[in-house]
Structure 1
């Protein structure tokens, strides 16, 4: 069977205009795995409230970070795809979960090249309902409806694979070399606490009490919080960071339900008020820089830090199309394509 790869990232509006941003946000926020409330309530919230105000605000944020070539997330993902394609023998397509670069188009591109077996590669190191799971579910729906002949398998979360931790750690070390910082903050995308409980395959392990994430369990295979904390622990261990000089936080909450704690913006503020003058921040839930990393973390985070007396605020880029990251993904893909070794 001819094999092929489908890389999948989050997505982006087609342009930083309120009209395109509204269309994109509508698709994104109406996903039942992003806002997991009943359809009637979700429709009222998204279409009746959020889409009446948020598109204009988000468009202004996108305009701050938009590149001449287009959306940074799309441009970086395309660069990653092109560099991987040069190192592997099988076709590599790219799709987005939301927006015009659909998963259906990506699958069709591979089918048109004669591909019969697809390795679905969500570009997320950690598993989460609102990222990996929604990609897997939609892809299976599309397979049944349009590509019943395709065999599709997916890459599991690779957050704790030693070679990934090595690449991530080396990238952080390289970008912070020569920089002054007293504290390194690992900031991950936030999710509601209920998402963690819903993903608990044991239906009993997740207590959100501070201990369950460090207690061995089958639940950890799908526990986003555990996987984030584990990335921080493994990187800190590899970089030999001293206790108290690093911490973990979660960004981008929405609404009034309890989300994963501590919050990034409040953590940045607290660090500044406690006298930290030089800090660095890294965002390991993303492999590609995007609105959250370039605007919320790099711009808004720096503003918060300076307002409370902080001086040097250093942001570490995502892995993007870094050579070591390209080499790693290409290695995994070649192993799968030639020996059927499971990725992740």
Structure 2
């Protein structure tokens, strides 16, 4: 079999405190998220400069940088190893949308090689124009070789091994709760929110998130009550609801005191899980009277998740 490439597409994250402001600038320059007809670069410069000091303080609390690069590299190396064990000539790359290694750098490397095909595999199981769509668009801006070599994997939110990987992590988290409350746990699925306008325009992300949640709970025979909410709102527009912090408060008011938080739209830990869920919303939970609050560890180095990625590649070679 001829040689092929797999490119894992991900968000990226600042690898130092000095990288926070330029990372934010790149994010706010993205026309697939922030559609500003005139002066988007000026807007991005101003808002990234304004937001950077607060965000830097948050990164200080989780180790001074984003771990997304670390976990993505582990996923990359594990996938490459599994492919080569199948005697496949495969090189696996990582292309980040807003930080290093940038998409353009990876395109330049791949165009110098004579690959028979290039499989673009997003580390976003659910499709949204703001994530997978944005990464595909960025790739297409730079890739000039034969387009018939490209394979775009749009989503895999119901992949059985992906669902199993989430449930493996949920079971690990349940084991941390006191024995006498394990049957009183409520599972709270927290997904990164999007503006409601995206949903109205046909973005399938929020519907796919719900389908993943239902598949996860069906696979575990609906072991616990469960809920869906959304986090990480930015700006004044209307976003998907209910908000995660409001959901935590509401559950406590209804007498629920044991919460297991599942970051459903993320495949590796980063600031939204380690700071927003595990620090900021933990404070909300404590203030609300929640007695046991555990955040599920991201899929990170999960072999089951890498097996899901392997299956996706194998079905396209």
Superposition TM-score, scaled by structure 2 size: 0.90
- Specify every segment of 5 or more residues in structure 2 that has no aligned partner in the other structure, as ranges: none
Following superposition, the deviation at residue 182 of structure 1 comes to 2.2
1:16/1:66 contact within 8 Å kept: no
CA RMSD of aligned residues (A): 2.0
Report the equivalent of 1:122: 122
Relative to 1, partners in 2 of residues 1:30 and 1:232: Cα closer, same or farther, differing over 3 Å?
Answer: same
2:188/2:228 contact within 8 Å kept: yes
Report the equivalent of 1:16: 17
SS in 2 for 1:336: coil
Report the equivalent of 1:224: 205
1:143/1:150 contact within 8 Å kept: no
Report the equivalent of 1:182: 185
Matches for 1:1-344 after TM superposition, within 5 Å: 2-17=3-18, 20-40=19-39, 42-43=40-41, 45-48=43-46, 50-66=47-63, 71-88=66-83, 89=88, 90-144=90-144, 147-148=145-146, 151-177=149-175, 179=177, 180=182, 182-198=185-201, 200=202, 222-241=203-222, 245-337=225-317
SS in 2 for 1:100: coil
Report the equivalent of 1:207: none
SS in 1 for 2:31: coil
Relative to 1, partners in 2 of residues 1:223 and 1:149: Cα closer, same or farther, differing over 3 Å?
Answer: closer
1:93/1:109 contact within 8 Å kept: no
Q: Matches of 2:41 and 2:141 in 1, distance apart?
A: 22
1:6/1:107 contact within 8 Å kept: no
SS in 1 for 2:315: helix
SS in 2 for 1:98: coil
Relative to 1, partners in 2 of residues 1:149 and 1:189: Cα closer, same or farther, differing over 3 Å?
Answer: closer
- Specify every segment of 5 or more residues in structure 1 that has no aligned partner in the other structure, as ranges: 201-221, 338-344
Following superposition, the deviation at residue 227 of structure 1 comes to 0.5
2:161/2:307 contact within 8 Å kept: no
Relative to 1, partners in 2 of residues 1:161 and 1:323: Cα closer, same or farther, differing over 3 Å?
Answer: closer
Can you list the C-alpha shifts for 1:207-247, whole angstroms capped at 9, x where unaligned?
xxxxxxxxxxxxxxx5111011111111111112267x210
Following superposition, the deviation at residue 134 of structure 1 comes to 0.4
2:159/2:308 contact within 8 Å kept: no
1:118/1:150 contact within 8 Å kept: no
Report the equivalent of 1:208: none
Relative to 1, partners in 2 of residues 1:100 and 1:164: Cα closer, same or farther, differing over 3 Å?
Answer: closer
Q: Matches of 1:95 and 1:29 in 2, distance apart?
A: 18
1:8/1:97 contact within 8 Å kept: yes
Q: Matches of 1:73 and 1:13 in 2, distance apart?
A: 9
Following superposition, the deviation at residue 44 of structure 1 comes to 5.6
Q: Matches of 2:97 and 2:140 in 1, distance apart?
A: 13
